[in-house]
Amino acid sequence: MIIAVDGPAASGKGTLASGLARHYGLAHLDTGLLYRAVGLAVAGQEDHPEFETKAIAAAQALEPGHLGDVAKLTTAEAGSLASKVAVIGEVRALLRQYQRDFASQPRGAVLDGRDIGTVICPDAEVKLFIKADSKARMERRARQLEGRGLVVDRYALYHQIEERDARDMANPNGGFYPAADAHLLDTTLLDIEAALRAAIGIVDGVMARRVER
């Protein structure tokens, strides 16, 4: 079974995807980490005339099994850099095959990202699109960062999330919208346990209907 979990920045899709993977005994790939690793590899070079070429080279050199320090990969800066390299078609193409290979393991997998249900795994058995309003997403991300001992400027974080949403929505090489057959799950008012229960309910319902057919 392949479960595709898409949604905007800080929507909780990563936590939900790893909870679903644990629940169903499936492998999990956070595809945002791939883009973040490429972004970090070209940090500070955003204004370089060869930025695209450098990002493509970084994507070529990427070793998905060794993405580096998770603490660095999960910073807001890495997220912002990721969205800058994610608009480059060749970068997306280079990362696409790895994601598809990961999804095609015999038992299936859970992948979370932006274009899993639309581009990477259009035939996934279950597709979820996670939503949450910008303020709720900012607050969740702020608490995550504070949990790591970081001092958070909520105003700046809110704008970073909005800016990243805007860049992602305008991505000409994206596919950052819910697949037509995706199930929408709005987690604005849900804590993680409730959101996971709701997601499991959706997956179980879809799988039960598939068996009936």
Residue nearest to ligand C5P (CB): 32
DSSP label of 48: S
Options 17, 113, 132, 187; binder of ligand C5P; rule CB under 6 A: 113
Confirm or reject binding of residue 168 to ligand C5P (CB under 6 A): yes
Token couple for 110: 């859970």
183 binds ligand C5P (CB under 6 A): no
Length of the chain counted residue by residue: 213
Chosen residue from 19, 76, 109, 115 binding ligand C5P by CB under 6 A: 115
Cα–Cα distance measured from residue 89 to residue 77, given in angstroms and rounded to the nearest whole number: 21
Q: How many CA atoms lie within 13 A of 80 on its CB side?
A: 14
DSSP letter, residue 3: E
Which of 28, 55, 114, 140 binds ligand C5P (CB under 6 A)? It is 114
Tokens matching residue 146? 């504070």
- Of residues 12, 19, 32, 117, which one binds ligand C5P by CB under 6 A? 32
**Residues at the contact surface with ligand C5P, assessed by CB under 6 A:** 9, 31-32, 35-36, 79, 82-83, 86, 113-115, 164, 168
